[in-house]
Chains A and B, each alone.
Chain A
Amino acid sequence: MQTTLTNGIADGQLTNAAKLANVSEDQFRMSNGVRVIDYQPTSRHAAPSNRYYLWLILPAVIVLACITLYPFFWLIWMSFHKVDVLKGDVWNNFANWRRLLGDRSFGNGWLLLLKYSAMCMLMEVGLGVLLAVILNRSKYEKVLVTLFLMPMMMAPVVAGLVWYYLYNSTFGWYHWLMQSAGILGEKSILGDTGTAMWGIVLVDVWQWTPLIILITLAGMKRVPRDQLEASMVDGAGEWRNFFQITLPNLYPFLLIAILLRFMDNFRFIDAILVLTGGGPANSTKILPTYLFDVSFQFFKLGRGAAIALTLLFVTIILGLILVKVFESPAGKVNQEGS
Chain B
Amino acid sequence: MASSDIVQYKTPARKAVDILVGVFLTIYLIWTLLTFVMMFVSSFKDLLEAFKLPEIGDWLGVTLFFDFTPTFRHYENLFLDKNFGKYMMNSIISAGGSALISVVLGSMCAYALSRTEFRGKKDLLFWIISTRMAPVVAVMVPLYAIFRNFELVGTLPGLILAYTTFNLPFAIWILKGFFDNVPYSIEEAQMCDGANRFEAFVSILPLVAPGIGAFLILCVLFGWNDFLFASIIGSGGAKTLPVATVELVQPQNIQWGKIMAAGVVTTVPMMFLGLLVRRYLVTGLTMGAVRE
Do A and B touch (CB < 8 Å)? yes
User: Does B282 interact with chain A (Cβ within 8 Å)?
Assistant: yes
Do A71 and B142 have beta carbons less than 8 Å apart?
Answer: yes
* Inter-subunit contact B118/A180 (CB<8 Å): no
**A147 and B286 contact, CB distance less than 8 A:** no
Asked if residues B28 and A171 are in contact (CB atoms below 8 Å), the reply is: no
**Residues of A contacting B201 with CB < 8 Å?**
56
* Bitwise interface map of B from 106 to 138 toward A, beta carbon under 8 Å scored 1, else 0: 101101110110100000101011110111111
A74 and B145 in contact, given A53-B115, A57-B109, A161-B263 (Cβ under 8 angstroms) = yes
Using known A-B contacts A67-B143, A72-B139, A176-B53, determine if residue A52 contacts B172 with beta carbons closer than 8 Å: no
Assuming the contacts A152-B285, A157-B227, A335-B177, asked whether A319 and B24 have C-beta atoms less than 8 A apart, the reply is no
Number of A-B residue pairs at CB separation under 8 A: 275
Q: Give Cα A184 to B25, complex, Å.
A: 25
Set of chain A residues within 8 Å of B32, measured between Cβ atoms: 147-148, 150-151, 206, 210
A161, B29: Cα distance in complex, Å? 21
Those of A117-158 within 8 Å (CB) of chain B:
127, 130-131, 134, 137-138, 144, 146-158
Query: What is the 8 Å Cβ interface bit string for chain B, positions 236-249, against chain A (1 contact, 0 not)?
Result: 00000110011001
Taking the closest CB of chain A, its distance from the CB of B96, in whole angstroms, is: 16
In chain A, residues 36-61, which have Cβ atoms closer than 8 Å to a Cβ of chain B? Answer: 50, 52-54, 56-57, 59-61
Partner of B108, one of A60, A155, A253, A260: A60
Complex CA distance for A247 and B270, rounded to whole angstroms: 33
Check B290–A154 contact: CB distance below 8 A: no
- Say how far B147's CB is from chain A's closest CB, in angstroms: 9
Are B274 and A152 interface neighbours, CB within 8 A? yes
B189 within 8 A of A: no
User: How close is A141's CB to chain B, nearest CB, in angstroms?
Assistant: 11
Q: How large is the interface on A (under 10, 10 to 19, 20 to 34, 35 or more residues)?
A: 35 or more
Q: Quick one: given A71-B139, A155-B242, are A165 and B256 in contact (CB under 8 Å)?
A: yes
Q: Which residues of A contact B227 (CB under 8 A)?
A: 155-157, 270, 273
Instruction: State A170–B211 Cα separation when bound (angstroms).
Output: 48
Complex contacts, B259 vs chain A, CB 8 Å: 161, 165
CA distance A206 to B36 in the complex (A): 11
| A200 proximal to B (CB < 8 A) | no
How many positions in chain B have a CB within 8 Å of any CB in the partner chain?
Answer: 104
Q: Which of A70, A163, A171, A256 contacts B146 (CB 8 A)?
A: A70
Closest to A238 in B: B8
B53 to chain A, nearest CB (A): 5
Judge whether A60 and B246 touch: CB under 8 Å: no
Closest to A334 in B: B290
Is the Cβ of B38 less than 8 Å from the Cβ of A137?
no
User: Which of A15-23, A92-100, A189-197, A289-297 faces chain B?
Assistant: A289-297
Q: How far is the CB of B226 from chain A (nearest CB, A)?
A: 8
Asked if B133 and A318 sit within 8 Å, CB to CB, the answer is yes
* Contact, CB under 8 Å: B128 / A291: no
Q: A57-B112, A253-B290 are in contact. Are A78 and B137 (CB under 8 A)?
A: no
Residue contact B281 to A214, C-beta cutoff 8 Å: yes
CB distance from B199 to the nearest CB of A (A): 12
B292 within 8 A of A: yes
Shortest Cβ gap from B149 to chain A (Å):
11
Contact (Cβ within 8 A) B35 A206: yes
* B109 with A56: CB separation less than 8 A: yes
Residue of B nearest to A288 (CB): B137
B288 CB contacts on chain A under 8 angstroms: 326, 335
- Stretch with Cβ within 8 A of B (4 or more), from A3-11, A24-32, A218-226: A218-226
* Complex contact A154–B267 (CB within 8 A): yes
The 10 listed contacts between A and B (C-beta, < 8 Å) are A148-B29, A171-B53, A179-B56, A179-B57, A206-B35, A253-B290, A267-B135, A269-B137, A291-B137, A326-B287
Shortest 6 CB-CB distances between A and B: which pairs?
A60-B109, A308-B138, A56-B112, A74-B142, A155-B225, A71-B142
Residues on A lying within 8 angstroms of B by beta carbon are: 50, 52-54, 56-57, 59-61, 63-64, 67-68, 70-72, 74-75, 78, 127, 130-131, 134, 137-138, 144, 146-159, 161-163, 165-166, 170-171, 173, 176, 179-180, 206, 210-211, 214-215, 217-219, 221, 225, 228-229, 232, 238, 253, 256-257, 260, 263, 266-267, 269-270, 273-274, 288, 291-292, 295-296, 301, 304-305, 308-309, 311-312, 315-316, 318-320, 322-323, 325-326, 331, 334-335, 337-338
Sample of 10 more A-B contacts, CB < 8 Å, known A156-B227, A157-B242:
A67-B165, A154-B271, A155-B224, A157-B246, A176-B53, A180-B57, A206-B35, A312-B138, A315-B133, A322-B287
